[in-house]
Chain A
């Protein structure tokens, strides 16, 4: 768990980060999002003390980071930055091995771990281990960057716009890979991006920054889309926020109408989202879909039911 208590960073008269308090729970992915120059990257770099706060306290699991040795602190936190971050003069395998070597791991252990990590990010060592970063595509470099950050199995990952300079198709794939990877490795991830769609797709929580270094709203993606805290947040989210929200809400979280009468011709699984249900409603002649839980018909939904579910906070989102 990472906590920010009234953290401010000033450069002379300019305020980069303005009195931020934030709790980043363990094993969650928190997205810091906002326009450029809003302080999101500064916030992240204060966690591994690449930047020191002007005032306030940043603590990891209750321990003030200022009390820790800065090199030891950084080695305990994986760090992924835009593709420039790989060492251009070291091979893929050497890049991934960097932190392990700094920590003085034995050769055999390093080799085994490097192979394991490159396998994990889909870049088998036999094929890519000896290549230089300059010989890789942007997406491949990013995968190597993630493997390097996971090197000594840190509990936390900081990711600074890792997919920023990558074409949209590859970016989408890397995002999906990150979601899959997260299930395997279970890290606390702080992820900086300027792309609100990326934030909504990847985040368990999203901290949306104002241009002057404050947090406008800190909430789950569904809550952010459902109940933006201010007109600024709403405008930052862009058009169609409720439509986008449909894809975030599982039917299991929605109040269904009791099933009665004939079984609807179109059915969706209870694990699907409101978006899938809406698709079914548009296809069904009767304008209703059945929601199935295995073989059992759990309930039905029509357009009005979807509308209600989409515009009110989902269960467990702390309504009111």
Chain B
């Protein structure tokens, strides 16, 4: 079985503290350096809050969809041989290999302006890491333990939920966390096709207009770190110690 290090309690406090320090520094920077003309249109509480909510919606929906597709698919593929896996991985790899901006354009042609295009692109993007880690995690479970579970009379589903998934969960969660961070960052591209989100803030900035740029990038980074941290907490609660 693959063993990933288990986050300690002390380490759990590090991320929120760092994020808070970073946001504080960002706030100081914005309030102490002069704003350029027009900055106030985007660097204000209402605009930032509305884009943050949009961003969270896009991230939440696409991550949930990706997980809902990739985890069950991974569970199914883990029972099969390489013959079935190869084509699925080909498609999933393609989702990662094609530039996200390309899929975004594809989303635009399907759904037009709005959040549905970016959600499609992000789902395609996030499926691979979750799928791959679900399969690797389940493959890594000692076959002797699985056979013991069957041998003492667990049904297939009982074996899956009581033995295989708990033992695979560190690897499975690693995939989910990678996907989540990817989605948070990539969701900024939604701006390109009018999807909204924190990308709007970043796009409003430029070299000689640094405030929106820094605020947008800073909040996206903080969001990515905090969501990853939150998922880490769930992982901690769900993963059994071994």
Closest to A82 in B: B144
Contact B158 A102 (CB under 8 A): yes
Check if B151 sits within 8 Å of A90, measured CB to CB: no
Q: How far is the CB of A91 from chain B (nearest CB, A)?
A: 10
Total interface residues in chain B, CB < 8 Å: 20
Asked if A79 contacts B242 (CB within 8 A), the reply is no
B151 CB contacts on chain A under 8 angstroms:
45, 48, 50, 74, 79, 81, 85, 158
A75: which of B1, B148, B152, B167 is its contact (CB, 8 Å)? B152
Asked whether B241 is an interface residue with its Cβ less than 8 Å from the other chain, the reply is: yes
Q: Is A128 part of the binding interface, using a Cβ–Cβ cutoff of 8 Å?
A: no
Q: Does A132 contact B (CB under 8 A)?
A: yes
Q: Does A134 contact B (CB under 8 A)?
A: yes
- Whether A75 and B145, one on each chain, are in contact in the complex, defined by CB atoms closer than 8 angstroms, is no
CA distance A73 to B166 in the complex (A): 26
A contact residues around B8 at 8 Å (CB)? none
Say whether A72 faces chain B, with CB atoms less than 8 Å apart: yes
Give the size of the chain A interface in residues (CB under 8 angstroms): 27
**Chain A CB within 8 A of B102 CB:** no
Q: A88-B167, A88-B242, A132-B241 given as contacts; is B147 within 8 A of A50 (CB)? A: yes
Chain A residues within 8 Å of B241, by CB: 89, 132
Within the complex, what minimum Cβ distance (angstroms) separates A1 from chain B? Answer: 21
CA distance A158 to B152 in the complex (A): 10
B residues less than 8 Å from A87 (CB atoms): 145, 148-149, 163
Does B82 interact with chain A (Cβ within 8 Å)? no
A66-78 vs B, CB cutoff 8 Å, 1 = contact: the mask equals: 0000011111001
Interface status of B72 (Cβ within 8 A of chain A): no
Answer whether residue A274 sits at the interface, using C-beta atoms and an 8 A cutoff: no
Chain A residues with CB under 8 A of B142: 84, 88
Q: Does B10 sit at the interface, judged by CB under 8 A?
A: no
B152 touches A134 (CB 8 A): no
- CB of A89 within 8 A of CB of B150, answer no
Chain B 165-177 against A: per-residue CB contact (8 Å), 1 yes, 0 no?
0110000000000
The answer, yes or no, to whether A9 is at the interface (CB within 8 Å) is no
Q: List 16 A-B contacts (CB under 8 A).
A: A79-B148, A79-B151, A79-B152, A84-B142, A84-B144, A85-B144, A87-B148, A88-B142, A89-B163, A89-B167, A89-B241, A89-B242, A98-B152, A102-B152, A132-B241, A132-B242
With A71-B154, A87-B145, A102-B154 known, 19 other A-B pairs at CB within 8 A are A72-B153, A74-B152, A75-B152, A84-B144, A84-B145, A84-B148, A85-B144, A85-B145, A85-B148, A85-B151, A86-B145, A86-B148, A88-B142, A88-B145, A89-B166, A89-B241, A102-B153, A102-B158, A132-B241
Closest 3 pairs between A and B when the two form their complex, measured CB to CB: A75-B153, A84-B144, A89-B240
Residues on B lying within 8 angstroms of A by beta carbon are 1, 142, 144-145, 147-155, 158, 163, 166-167, 240-242
Residues of A within 8 A of B (CB): 45, 48, 50, 71-75, 78-79, 81-82, 84-90, 98-99, 102, 132, 134, 148-149, 158
